[in-house]
Structure formats: C-alpha cells, structure tokens
C-alpha cells in the first residue's frame, strides 16, 4: 500500500491519497471493533478471547498468552485510530482541509502506518522474544493470522515492517515541512 500511495502522489493525486488514507483507514481500523469484546476478555479476564479467531495459525506447542495479550492491544489501538479517522472522514472541513496538503497527508500516513504496522507486528514480536530459537520456523510456517501456506509468517511479519518504515518516513517528511510553532490540521 505505501508504494501505491507514493505512486499516486507522484502523479499529482495527493488529495485522493489523503482521502484514501482517511476513509480506508477509518473503515479498516473501525472494523477492528468487531473484536473489542474478545480483546477485553483477553486483557481483563485472561480468557482466550481474541486469540480464538485472530491467531488460528499460532503453533499449538507454544504458550500464546503474550501473543494474545499483544493481539488485544492491537485491537484497542486500531479501534482508537479508527474512531479518530472516522471523525475526520465524517467532517467535511477536516476530510480534505485547505492548506498544506503535504503535511496533512504525511501526518495521517504517519499515524496510520506506524500504529497499524507496530500493532500488527507486536504479537509476532511477543512470540519471537519468547522463542527466539524458533524464529526461522515461525517465518517459514503458515502465518499466525491466516494459517495459510500462501501467507507464511515472513509475509505477515514483513508487511507490517514495510508499514512501520513508511510511517517513519512520513513522520520525517512531516517534521521537515513544519516548524515548531505550526501543527498541521490532521
């Protein structure tokens, strides 16, 4: 997705890219609310909650508690971001504000890709920290999220890293455009 957005930005479609990050981000992140009660079960009550539907490919022979806790945090972060982006998408003045559109784009892209990438990868980070000797196995087996061979662990682990890098890139671009006294209208 970051490469596609950069391509369309280079073709003069900055407004469309802002709308995409805002509206897609709102829908995609807000949809994580479907797992909210399961995430609460995981964090508040120690139940299997979100791990039942969200991590079907997790190895059966490992302790998945830390992974499940991180998946619950992923749900909370994505839902919070979805609510925020929804408020932007529903407000016609903020959906595509006047002014420095580059700063608007990079502020939204930094938020979406950093939070989305980090929160998607934290379940993997949790299990890799717990079982570092099995890193290679986790990267080549069916993905934890999908349990499909077509999306092995490397794909599910690597894609969010691309998002994180693009989020950091967007943040650096944003910081190079603004001075300490001006904050762009997200």
What pLDDT does residue 26 have?
94
- The domain segmentation of the chain, as residue ranges, is 2-176
Please tell me the distance from the alpha carbon of residue 184 to that of residue 186, in angstroms, as a whole number: 6
CB-CB contact of 107 with 175 (8 Å): no
Q: Provide the angle, in degrees to the nearest 10, between the axes of the packed helices 2-10 and 153-177.
A: 40
Q: Please say if the pLDDT value at position 83 is more than 80.
A: yes
Mean pLDDT of 19-48: 91
Mean pLDDT of 169-184: 79
Q: Please say if the pLDDT value at position 55 is more than 60.
A: yes
Given pLDDT bands bounded at 50, 70 and 90, which one contains residue 46?
A: confident
What pLDDT does residue 49 have?
84
26 DSSP 8-state letter: H
Residue-wise DSSP of 44-103 = HH--STTHHHH-TTS-TTS--HHHHHHHHHHHHHHHHHHHHHHHHHH-HHHHS-SS-HHH
What pLDDT does residue 52 have?
79
State pLDDT tens for residues 97-125. Answer: 988 899 999 999 999 999 999 999 999 99
């Amino acid at each position: 997705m970051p490469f596609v957005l950069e391509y369309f930005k280079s073709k003069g479609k900055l407004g469309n890219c802002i709308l995409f990050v805002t509206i897609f981000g709102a829908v995609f992140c807000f949809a994580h609310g479907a797992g909210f009660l399961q995430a609460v079960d995981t964090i508040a009550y120690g139940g299997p909650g979100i791990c039942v539907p969200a991590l079907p490919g997790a190895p059966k022979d490992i302790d998945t508690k830390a992974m499940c806790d991180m998946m619950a945090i992923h749900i909370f972060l994505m839902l919070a971001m979805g609510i925020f982006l929804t408020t932007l998408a529903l407000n016609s003045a903020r959906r595509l504000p006047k002014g420095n559109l580059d700063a608007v784009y990079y502020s939204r892209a930094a938020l979406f890709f950093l939070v989305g990438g980090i929160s998607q990868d934290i379940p993997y980070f949790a299990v890799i920290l717990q079982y570092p000797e099995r890193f290679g196995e986790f990267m080549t087996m069916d993905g934890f999220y999908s349990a499909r061979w077509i999306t092995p662990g490397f794909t599910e682990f690597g894609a969010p890293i691309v998002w994180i890098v693009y989020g950091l890139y967007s943040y650096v671009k944003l910081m190079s455009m603004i001075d300490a006294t001006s904050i762009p209208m997200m």
